[in-house]
Amino acid sequence: MNLNAPPASASAGPNAAVERHLLDTVATDPAAASPAEIMHAVAQVAREHLSRRWVATDRADRAARARRVYYLSMEFLIGRTLSNALAAVGLTGEMAAAAKAHANTLEDLTATEADAALGNGGLGRLAACFLDSMATVELPSYGYGIRYEFGMFKQSIVGGRQVEHPDPWLEDGTPWEFPRTGVSYPVRFGGWVEPGAHGSSGSIWRHAGEVNAKAYDMVIPGHGTPRVSTLRLWKAAAPSQIDLHAFNTGDYARAAEFKNQYENISWVLYPNDSTPAGRELRLRQEYFFTSASIQDILARHLAEHGRLTNLAEKVAIHLNDTHPAIGVAELMRLLVDEHAFGWAGAWALTQKVFSYTNHTLMPEALETWPVSLMQHVLPRHLEIIFRINSEFLAAAAKLRPGDNEFMRSLSLIEERGERRVRMAHLSIVGSHKVNGVSALHSELLVQTIFANFAALWPERFTNMTNGVTPRRWLAQANTGLASLIDSTIGDGWRLHLDQLIGLREHAANADFRNAFLAVKQANKLRLAEHIRAHTGVPVDATSLFDVQVKRIHEYKRQLLNVLQVVARYQAMLADPDADWVPRTVIFAGKAASSYVSAKAVIQLIHDVGTVINTDARLRGRLKLVFVPNYGVSVAEVIMPGADLSEQISTAGTEASGTGNMKLALNGALTIGTDDGANVEIRQQVGDDNIFIFGLSTAQVAAQRAAGYQPLRIYEENPRLKAVLDAIAGGRFSEDEPGRYRALVDSLLWGGDHYMLLADFDSYVAAQSRVDALYRDPQAWARKAIANVAGMGFFSSDRTIREYARDVWGLAAKA
Ligand code: 26Q
């Protein structure tokens, strides 16, 4: 069968295909269909094309017995799929016409699709951008994760406070998944271990419980290629035979409870808290999807090759942070206990197969699991980890005999306090490559938290600077800018983002600058309308749109931004007739539900906003808004409408950032610290086209070592003192004057761990430089264009090509 032929319905014209699906698939009267129903029919048209591409890709890869990469991630923050799918199969224009035939726009239809929000933030969205790029550069590739029934919680704001709601994204069904009823694996938990046959390395795991992992695939379209990639998500299902007894005796409550105990594994995404809480269900989730994925990988390999000895030639498994790190022990278990490998042979294979990306430097955010919990949930894996550790430490001891501190720092087991398994150490020891996500971050990894590992194995450590997919974050989100770029330098940038450099010379052209400003203005109007609809606050779309959108976290310092806004407010009141540059300060982001200080910051933003937005003396020249429910789809509205991108983390804390890339790609100027990928953005766009302020990483470390004294800064800085006094004194919370006392005290008396006060003055000074530039729209446009032109490096296609070449040993399309 010719899989490259379009589906049968395509020949009758696109609208006929939509009508057919309205009748045959959605089962509704085409003349009376709702936007959601039409969306489903349009999605079915795209799905037909994609399923053929999927079968063709799979057939080709099997025939070639291709080397494949498997990207294991607890999170895939996909967002909506329809626009991206239509663009990939080349049906955007025709489906817009079909929508019109039903008295709708394509945007009305796409807006009815729920976001697939199977991730928290940066790490999860990075995984989604990587899938897009892996398909586009034609890597034989699979993403593996969990089919959470409930994704990232939805956020609403009640009385200025965050309220979380469940996200039942599958409630109305999704057109994008393909249940693979034949693909299912048992995943076991608990019990005890007995010795295996005499002389073998293997053991027998007498498990106490078992759950089935069932496969659901999502097709990931490539752009500019008929190839696709697969995202395989696992759903937990209780094994049907075991609940029979309770069921047959009519004890349905017991039977249901039993079922729940297993099926809850894939129910809900864990929110990224400030510190990982070490919950048993989270460990079960990690093992569940990792085990199912590795069983699936081995089954595919055996079907193609009939043996596992050549596994490392054909399989690369990537660990997206330590969340799937138990996979190192699981592959060892499968090889040694179930496939009769000797220990040394299995270990050599394992190290060649795995690679690991670290996404954080902050020690408190590194994942560890109590030995006692692991003993209870995964006794055989714990045994394997102990053996890996003792052989590793024995080898390390030969290098530095007697250096106990060295050994303690390397051990897979943290021995101080309650004994815990260090998942990052397991990942490093079990991998042949370890990378950070920006040049600075990767450098700091080998200088700080992993320094002793780098001393052992310098060649294992490398950098892979993050990127974002230009298809979603420019072509799809910003159609205005995309067409302007198309008509200026052609449309090749979608697959070769480096071509944006061709825009640089056009920054000198006034017509181009004005066209660029007109696009930005239209995007700001759209964003202003979104803000009005979701916050009730009217904002002036000619004001400077100053945007900080990301998870709410102390290290990201949204609070520093609020301090700056209050300082501006006070300065404006002191001199109301001065020629202030009108500004709209826009925040968005979720706080983990248990993260008290992050939630206080959200409330503070609302309280300060309420005062500022209604103060007539400002004459509308300053507004402060919080856009609720930040996620992929909200970001697609915010990024194109931003003038200024706030990337203000304490130097040395933000591993990379990817929102910084999306904003600059959409023509926002960055105000930021020398942190994460800001450093490389600065290199790419040039020092004159970015506002860098604050302490460097080295200065942060030096000040901390010398004894940082926030109270002294407060006493010596009247402007800062006035800001903190107003907040702490209840100026913005008159109904409860003490509401922010603790927040301010954490700065003054609690040590100000993220050094907001140290950077305050330099931040305010940088904001003044921003204002000065904004007064000159043409000068602003020149720099904004230079930003877009300089962003070629930050395509996730470039990142994926680097991984393919340096980490996975795969050939990518040029
Ligand atoms: C861990 C254990 C238990 C529960 C939750 C977690 C958990 C979940 C998500 C821990 C961390 C995360 C997410 C981390 C993350 O998004 N990190 C970001 O990764 C981006 C992509 O590399 C970087 O750009 C950001 O700098 C980094 O903060």
pLDDT in tens, 154-183: 999 999 999 999 999 999 999 999 999 999
At 276, the pLDDT band (50, 70, 90 cuts) reads low
At 199, the pLDDT band (50, 70, 90 cuts) reads confident
% of residues, the chain, pLDDT over 70: 97
- Which atom of ligand 1 lies nearest, measured to the CA of 441? 26
Selection from 644, 645, 559 nearest residue 608 by Cα: 559
Q: Is the pLDDT of residue 247 over 80?
A: no
So what's the pLDDT on residue 255? Answer: 75
List, in order, residues 6 or more apart from 232 with CB less than 8 Å away. 142, 143, 144, 145, 180, 215, 216, 217, 293, 296
Decide if 352 is catalytic: no
Q: Is the pLDDT of residue 682 over 80?
A: yes
Q: Is the pLDDT of residue 632 over 90?
A: yes
So what's the pLDDT on residue 259? Answer: 79
* CA 70–ligand 1 middle distance (angstroms): 19
- Which atom of ligand 1 lies nearest, measured to the CA of 282? 3
* Residue nearest (by alpha carbon) to ligand 1 atom 15: 123
Q: Is the pLDDT of residue 559 over 90?
A: yes
So what's the pLDDT on residue 145? Answer: 98
Selection from 712, 673, 710, 716 nearest residue 695 by Cα: 673
Q: Is the pLDDT of residue 338 over 60?
A: yes
Selection from 132, 22, 110, 91 nearest residue 472 by Cα: 132
Q: Region 72-83: what's the mean pLDDT?
A: 98
* CA 466–ligand 1 middle distance (angstroms): 13
At 785, the pLDDT band (50, 70, 90 cuts) reads very high
| Of the candidate ranges 1-15, 229-243, 493-507, 677-691, the one whose mean pLDDT is the lowest | 1-15
* Residue nearest (by alpha carbon) to ligand 1 atom 12: 272
* Residue nearest (by alpha carbon) to ligand 1 atom 9: 272
The residues facing 568 across adjacent strands are none
Contact 190, 379 (CB under 8 A): yes
- Which atom of ligand 1 lies nearest, measured to the CA of 365? 10
Q: Is the pLDDT of residue 242 over 70?
A: no
Q: Active-site residue among 235, 556, 731, 783?
A: 556
Q: Region 143-163: what's the mean pLDDT?
A: 98
- Which atom of ligand 1 lies nearest, measured to the CA of 120? 9
Q: Active-site residue among 92, 658, 697, 799?
A: 658
Q: Is the pLDDT of residue 524 over 80?
A: yes
The amino acid occupying position 802 is E
65-79+115-465+801-808: CATH homologous superfamily? Glycogen Phosphorylase B; (3.40.50.2000)
- Which atom of ligand 1 lies nearest, measured to the CA of 357? 22
* CA 184–ligand 1 middle distance (angstroms): 29
At 257, the pLDDT band (50, 70, 90 cuts) reads confident
Which residues' Cβ are closer than 6 Å to ligand 1?
120-123, 126, 270, 272, 276, 282, 359, 367, 437, 466, 654-658, 676
Q: Active-site residue among 214, 227, 323, 551?
A: 551
Average pLDDT in the chain? 96
Decide if 359 is catalytic: yes
% of residues, the chain, pLDDT over 90: 93
* CA 295–ligand 1 middle distance (angstroms): 26
At 50, the pLDDT band (50, 70, 90 cuts) reads very high
Q: Active-site residue among 494, 550, 568, 590?
A: 550
Decide if 682 is catalytic: no
At 249, the pLDDT band (50, 70, 90 cuts) reads confident
List, in order, residues 6 or more apart from 788 with CB less than 8 Å away. 481, 485, 500, 503, 664, 665, 666, 667
So what's the pLDDT on residue 800? Answer: 98
Phi, psi (deg, nearest 5) at residue 22: -60, -40
The domain defined by 524-794 folds into: Rossmann fold (3.40.50)
* Residue nearest (by alpha carbon) to ligand 1 atom 11: 272
So what's the pLDDT on residue 275? Answer: 65
* Residue nearest (by alpha carbon) to ligand 1 atom 7: 272
Q: Which of 71, 120, 647, 675 should be mutated for ligand 1, with most atoms under 8 A from CB?
A: 120
Phi, psi (deg, nearest 5) at residue 731: -60, -30
So what's the pLDDT on residue 5? Answer: 61
- Would the pTM count as exceeding 0.85? yes
* CA 34–ligand 1 middle distance (angstroms): 38
Q: Is the pLDDT of residue 244 over 70?
A: no
At 271, the pLDDT band (50, 70, 90 cuts) reads confident
Q: Which residues of 662-701 are buried (b: 16+ CB within 10 A; e: fewer)?
A: bbbbbbbbbbbbbbbbbbbbbebbeeebbbbbbbbbebbe
Q: Active-site residue among 359, 425, 433, 557?
A: 359
- Which atom of ligand 1 lies nearest, measured to the CA of 437? 22
Q: Is the pLDDT of residue 665 over 90?
A: yes
Q: Is the pLDDT of residue 258 over 90?
A: no
Q: Which residues of 124-161 are buried (b: 16+ CB within 10 A; e: fewer)?
A: bbbbbbbbbbbbbbbbbbbbbbbbbbbbbbbbebeebe
Going from N- to C-terminal start, the domains of the chain cover 65-79+115-465+801-808, 524-794
Selection from 652, 286, 677 nearest residue 465 by Cα: 677
Decide if 590 is catalytic: no
Decide if 551 is catalytic: yes
So what's the pLDDT on residue 252? Answer: 75
Q: Is the pLDDT of residue 2 over 90?
A: no
* CA 698–ligand 1 middle distance (angstroms): 24
Q: Region 716-733: what's the mean pLDDT?
A: 98
So what's the pLDDT on residue 217? Answer: 98
Helix (H) or strand (E) holding 407: helix 404-410
Q: Region 307-316: what's the mean pLDDT?
A: 98
Q: 65-79+115-465+801-808 and 524-794: same fold?
A: yes
Q: Is the pLDDT of residue 11 over 60?
A: no
So what's the pLDDT on residue 328? Answer: 99
So what's the pLDDT on residue 6? Answer: 63
Q: Is the pLDDT of residue 201 over 90?
A: no
* CA 674–ligand 1 middle distance (angstroms): 20
- Which atom of ligand 1 lies nearest, measured to the CA of 466? 22
* Residue nearest (by alpha carbon) to ligand 1 atom 21: 123
User: How far is it, in rounded angstroms, from Cα 623 to Cα 587?
Assistant: 11
Decide if 360 is catalytic: no
* Residue nearest (by alpha carbon) to ligand 1 atom 1: 276
So what's the pLDDT on residue 373? Answer: 96
Long-range contact pairs involving 764-769 (C-beta distance under 8 Å, separation at least 24):
764/564, 764/567, 764/719, 765/693, 766/671, 766/691, 766/692, 766/693, 767/564, 767/568, 767/671, 769/691
So what's the pLDDT on residue 3? Answer: 58
Q: Which of 72, 126, 359, 653 should be mutated for ligand 1, with most atoms under 8 A from CB?
A: 359
Q: Which of 272, 283, 654, 796 should be mutated for ligand 1, with most atoms under 8 A from CB?
A: 272
Q: Is the pLDDT of residue 446 over 70?
A: yes
Q: Is the pLDDT of residue 430 over 70?
A: yes
- Which atom of ligand 1 lies nearest, measured to the CA of 277? 3
Q: Region 309-316: what's the mean pLDDT?
A: 98
Could you give the C-alpha distances from 427 to 293, 320, 473, 577, in angstroms and in order?
A: 17, 10, 31, 60
